[in-house]
Amino acid sequence: MDEQELIRRVQNGDEWAFGQIMALYKDRIVNYLYHFSGDYQKAVELAQETFLRVYFKAGKYRPIGSLSSWIYTIASNLAKTDARRSRRAATVSLDDIPNDFASGTYYEDPDDPGLVRNLREALDELHPRYRVPVVLKDVEGFSQEEIARIIDRPVGTVKARISRGRDQLRRKLEKALEGRAAKVDNEVSEHGRA
């Protein structure tokens, strides 16, 4: 059964059809929201809210664009609202947090290669205006026209944001690679002296 038929059935109260839509999009939406928020638990919560809205607002869906664009639009709007709310929340100074770690130490996940970690960190550092289009294009595979509908911006703006976002990612990854190379060079020269 195609997506348009599924959403028509949801509009008529068919819970089975809604379950099929959730099965099609749940993992993709959680993954997208995780890239947006950087917090898996938050991504799951936002995905649940997304699907609640899909179910209760199904009557407002119009088949102008694809069903996936509509669902991603809902998820994007929820994520943006949550990000604004989080920025307004009280903040704590890093100086107020006890530091029990020795200087220069950090946790390194052995299952997470440096490139993946660096990419995740670089994505997290991107402003949402660039992160959202880059993730929608390069991770989720949407066309620029679909992204324009999802984020409600002209296609030219989407193209520019994808380009700038990719450029910022490239620079951040090059900088991380240079830092890693310098660290390896220092370790090699220290071992040579020993």
Asked whether the whole model's pTM tops 0.75, one would answer no
Domains delineated in the chain: 1-86 (1.10.1740.10), 113-194 (1.10.10.10)
H-type helices in 57-92, by residue range? 67-88
53-76 exposure pattern, b = at least 16 Cβ within 10 A, e = fewer: bbeeebeebeeebbbbbbbbbbbb
14-16-18-24 Cα dihedral, nearest 10 degrees: -150
Least confident of 13-27, 64-78, 99-113, 124-138: 99-113
Summarised one tens digit per residue, pLDDT across range 108-142 is: 444 555 667 777 788 888 888 898 899 888 888 88
Least-confidence region, from 3-17, 56-70, 89-103, 121-135: 89-103
State pLDDT tens for residues 149-189.
888 899 999 999 999 999 998 888 888 777 666 665 666 66
